[in-house]
Amino acid sequence: MSDKLLLWIGEQPSPVKKDRSSDLVMDSVINYYDSEQRKPRYEWGQLFLDNGAFTARMKGISLQRDRVIEVQEHIDPDRTIPLDYPFRTGEPAARMRKLWNKTKDNITYWQTSTSLRKKVVPTLHAWDKSSLIKNVQWLQRNADSDFVALGSIVGPGFQKFDGFFGDRQPSMELIDMVALASSCVAKLTDFKVHLMGFGSSPLMLHLGYYLGAHSTDTTGYRRKAAFGKIVLPGKGERHVGDDSLRGREFGGQAMSIREENPKREEDLTLLNRCGCPVCTSNPDILWIDWRARAIHNEFVMKQEASVAQYFSSVSESTYEKFLDRVVFPGSSLRYLWEYAKLRKNYYRISDVLFNEGV
Ligand SMILES: [Zn+2]
């Protein structure tokens, strides 16, 4: 693992910062699709423009292919995702196969008939192990890209399981999906993996990089801030803002840094050491200003990506030891970390992909 790990910072038409000329930025077609505003109002270093398909599908809106292309060509990002067709819970395999065929058609179309062809990041979808292997092989033959984005990778449990890849809620199914798909991509292709939305907290970010992602994005830093939450270096999220916002975001209530938290002192020490522009000048505004929380959260996530970069560039086992001894003990996601190690090693050392009834 010597390649640079990437973290794309989520932005929107009303940006947290206007000067992002030294940032990797993630934005979405959905923010410009029906809007009079046709370009982002911020400067970017590099821009990755998501196609908005997942949001549209969850809202039951269908996106028109030509309009998506028009928005993407007009904004002219560095990377973008051809319109794809994510799965919804409960869909039969035949329907998922049909949606994948439409996704493939669009990957080809984007590469042959638009000005975006050198910027395309294709999305991988699969509905069982056999389709995973076939679809990865198809991408290897047909997609002209250095990255592949993991989309809907689902198994038999999908019918009863909701929220698999949208909000990226931590779960064993999510870990298994990422470990399996990353391993398959690594064995069968020369793509690097982009994992959509794994930068919601330091713990999730580390899980994503550990499981084989070279690139992920954080839009959660901003959403959390709006819901009164901050992230702590090497930790998860804590509630600091307006109490009326508590528990209103999916994922339940975050521990408050002020009250019932048994590790309150430890949390406050971490916060006192934070080197972000807010904590070093006027930390009190974290409690009242969502933008201040967004700036703090972004700083912490970038710092965490640098830490991951540092340890993983030494060696994969060094990074694993660091996560095992420093980051995950005592954390709320420790059980997922133990599971992630098991699954990663299982897929790494076995030929399970090729032998298990595929
Ligand atoms: Zn800070």
The Å distance, Cα 274 to ligand 1 centre, comes to 5
Residue 278 is predicted with a pLDDT of 96
Burial of 357 (0-12, 13-18, 19+ CB in 10 A): exposed
pLDDT bin (cut points 50, 70, 90) of residue 358 is: very low
The reported pLDDT for the residue numbered 168 is 62
What's the CA-to-centroid distance between 20 and ligand 1, angstroms? 18
pLDDT at 122: 98
Q: 189 is written with which tokens? A: 């292709």
**What integer pLDDT is reported at residue 1 of this predicted model?**
46
Q: Write the CB contacts of 44 (distance below 8 Å, at least 6 apart in sequence).
A: 11, 20, 21, 23, 25
Determine the pLDDT at residue 166. Answer: 47
312-339 pLDDT, tens digit each:
999 999 999 999 999 999 888 999 999 9
Q: Which positions ≥6 away from 199 have C-beta within 8 Å?
A: 7, 8, 205, 208, 216, 217, 218, 219, 220, 221, 301, 305
Query: 219 φ, ψ to 5°?
Result: -105, -15
Determine the pLDDT at residue 354: 61
Please give the distance, rounded to the nearest whole angstrom, from the Cα atom of residue 19 to the centre of ligand 1.
Answer: 19
Among all chains, which residue has been given the structure tokens 């992002």?
20
In angstroms, what is the span from residue 348 Cα to ligand 1's centroid?
37
Evaluate the CA torsion angle 9, 12, 17, 22 in order and state its sign.
Answer: positive
Q: What are the strands of the beta sheet with 147-153, ordered from one edge?
A: 79-80, 43-50, 19-28, 6-10, 213-218, 192-195, 147-153, 123-126
Taking the centre of ligand 1 as the mean of its atom positions, its distance from the CA of residue 196, in whole angstroms, is 25
On average, the pLDDT of the chain sits at 88
Tell me how far apart the alpha carbons of residues 124 and 111 are, in angstroms, rounded to a whole number.
16
**Coil, helix or strand at residue 44:** strand
d(CA 17, CA 25) in angstroms, rounded, equals 11
Kindly give the distance from the C-alpha atom of residue 233 to the centroid of ligand 1, in angstroms, as a whole number: 9
CA of 331 to the centre of ligand 1 (A): 20
Instruction: Report d(CA 10, CA 75) in Å as an integer.
Output: 16
* pLDDT tens figures, 201-230: 899 999 999 999 999 999 889 999 998 999
Share of the chain above pLDDT 70, in %: 88
Return the structure tokens found at 293: 């929380």
Query: What is the phi/psi pair of residue 46, to 5°?
Result: -135, 145
257 secondary structure, DSSP code? T
Q: How far is the CA of 279 from the centre of ligand 1 (A)?
A: 4
- Rounded to a whole number of angstroms, the distance between the first and last alpha carbons of the chain is 29
- Taking the centre of ligand 1 as the mean of its atom positions, its distance from the CA of residue 134, in whole angstroms, is 45
Residue-wise pLDDT for 245-287, tens only, equals 555 554 445 667 766 677 788 888 888 899 999 999 998 899 8
CA of 338 to the centre of ligand 1 (A): 29
pLDDT surpassing 90 at residue 26? yes
What spacing in Å lies between the alpha carbon of 327 and ligand 1's midpoint?
Answer: 19
pLDDT in tens, 164-202: 444 567 888 889 889 999 999 999 999 999 998 888 889
pLDDT at 234: 83
Q: Answer positive or negative: Cα dihedral of 14, 19, 21, 23.
A: negative
Contact (Cβ atoms closer than 8 angstroms) between residue 47 and residue 77: yes
Q: Is the pLDDT of residue 357 over 50?
A: no
Going from the Cα of 68 to the center of ligand 1, the distance in angstroms, rounded, reads: 37
User: Cα of 296 to ligand 1 centre, how many Å?
Assistant: 4
Residue 142 has pLDDT above 50, yes or no: yes
CA–centroid distance, residue 16 to ligand 1 (Å):
15
Centre of ligand 1 to C-alpha 297, Å, is: 7
| Backbone torsions φ then ψ of 344, nearest 5 degrees | -60, -45
Ligand 1 centre from 7 Cα, in Å? Answer: 18
Asked if 82 contacts 109 with a C-beta cutoff of 8 angstroms, the reply is: yes
Q: How many A from CA of 282 to the centre of ligand 1?
A: 10
pLDDT tens for 229-240 read 999 988 888 888
Between the CA of 275 and the centroid of ligand 1 the distance, in Å, is: 6
Over residues 151-172, mean pLDDT = 64
CA of 227 to the centre of ligand 1 (A): 17
- The reported pLDDT for the residue numbered 231 is 92
Lookup result for tokens 């109490």:
243
User: What is the tens place of the pLDDT at every residue in 49-61?
Assistant: 999 998 898 888 8
